[in-house]
């Protein structure tokens, strides 16, 4: 496969996939809601309206071999009871609309960026999520990703379209959005973080490792109609993560030891239970399937990836 369409090609992940694909000889097209020029001269830009069940993808899909679907409604903090329909409109209906049009356009493969949240919100210490676990999506975002996965597999079963489902954990790198970006800023500011008593283990995924895996899935015949969990292959506790970032930045960050139950209580009272969950709970991933089926290994070590993330943020 040599012609790629990357949806959400201006986003954190899509932009990196597009750059790497172009440098590896792919003919790359990205879709974006914005018509502004792309900074990558080797990449073609097609303007596409906001993703939904009625979006016309015909121009973007013309001549494409493989779609890397990064666009979607991102996970946002919301306690709204009606949030699931909003996620479903974009992440389910919009994704399946794209897939059906991909079938009609003769696209051979579609890679869907899902989420490890389909598996659940946490693991017991020493227990790892794997592809054969029963799904346990814990919020509207993860539920919409699970529903989209099921719809894609149903389309693949009735057509020649090959589907690849990728469930990453937190993806980090330079200018990462969300919690990782906030953590990087806190480290640069040398803010004390009350996490010294946390004894968890979490699987993370460097952006460069995710990009490498996506491109492997674009070409490897063994990826067709498969689901993969993927991570760096080296888990860290939250205090280990903070110390590694601080070392890379050349600063010292105090980690006061406040008991985890007290942190949980405070987070709950402040309406930050989700943040406590991400900072203090365990979430570990087994990537044996990716290693054995695709002969894939994460190319970038964790220490190097964290150093690039923290130093890039400071430039």
Domains of the chain plus CATH, in order, are: 3-174+206-231+284-299 (3.40.50.720)
Tens-place pLDDT, residues 52-73: 898 999 999 999 999 999 998 8
Query: DSSP code of 236?
Result: B
- Distance of alpha carbon 273 from alpha carbon 200, whole angstroms: 16
Instruction: Tell me the average pLDDT across 77-106.
Output: 85
Q: What is the pLDDT of residue 75?
A: 64
Enzyme catalytic residues:
141
Tens-place pLDDT, residues 4-13: 999 999 899 9
Q: What is the pLDDT of residue 177?
A: 86
- Token reading at 201: 């283990």
Confidence of residue 74 (pLDDT cuts 50, 70, 90): confident
- Distance of alpha carbon 127 from alpha carbon 119, whole angstroms: 13
Tens-place pLDDT, residues 208-245: 999 999 999 999 999 999 999 999 999 999 999 999 99
Q: What is the pLDDT of residue 38?
A: 60
CA angle 165, 166, 169 (to 5 degrees): 150
- Distance of alpha carbon 315 from alpha carbon 304, whole angstroms: 17
Say yes or no to pLDDT of 37 above 70: no
Cβ atoms of 105 and 148 within 8 Å: the answer is no
Confidence of residue 315 (pLDDT cuts 50, 70, 90): very low
CB atoms closer than 10 angstroms to residue 131: 18
């Amino acid at each position: 496969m040599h012609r790629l369409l990357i949806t959400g090609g201006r986003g954190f992940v899509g932009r990196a996939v597009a750059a790497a694909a172009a440098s590896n000889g792919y003919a790359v097209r990205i879709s974006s809601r914005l018509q502004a020029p792309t900074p990558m001269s080797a990449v073609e830009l097609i303007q596409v309206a906001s993703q939904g069940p009625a979006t016309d993808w015909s121009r973007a899909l013309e001549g494409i071999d493989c779609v890397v679907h990064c666009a979607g409604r991102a996970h946002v903090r919301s306690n709204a009871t009606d949030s699931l329909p909003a996620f479903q409109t974009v992440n389910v209906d919009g994704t399946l609309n794209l897939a059906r049009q991909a079938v009609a356009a003769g696209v051979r493969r579609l890679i869907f960026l899902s989420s490890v949240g389909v598996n659940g919100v946490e693991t017991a210490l020493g227990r790892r999520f794997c592809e054969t676990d029963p799904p346990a999506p814990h919020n509207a975002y993860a539920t919409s990703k699970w529903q989209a996965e099921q719809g894609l597999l149903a389309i693949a079963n009735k057509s020649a379209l090959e589907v690849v489902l990728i469930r990453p954990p937190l993806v980090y790198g330079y200018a990462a959005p969300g919690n990782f970006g906030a953590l990087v800023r806190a480290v640069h500011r040398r803010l004390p973080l009350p996490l010294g008593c946390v004894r968890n283990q979490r699987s993370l995924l460097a952006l460069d490792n995710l990009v490498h895996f996506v491109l492997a899935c674009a070409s490897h015949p063994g990826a067709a109609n498969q689901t993969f969990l993927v991570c760096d292959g080296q888990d860290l506790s939250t205090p280990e993560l903070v110390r590694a970032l601080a070392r890379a930045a050349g600063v010292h960050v105090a980690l006061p030891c406040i008991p985890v139950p007290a942190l949980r209580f405070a987070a709950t009272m402040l309406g930050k239970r989700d943040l406590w969950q991400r900072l203090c709970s365990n979430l570990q991933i087994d990537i044996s399937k990716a290693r054995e089926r695709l002969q894939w290994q994460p190319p970038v070590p964790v220490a190097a990836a964290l150093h690039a993330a923290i130093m890039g943020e400071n430039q």
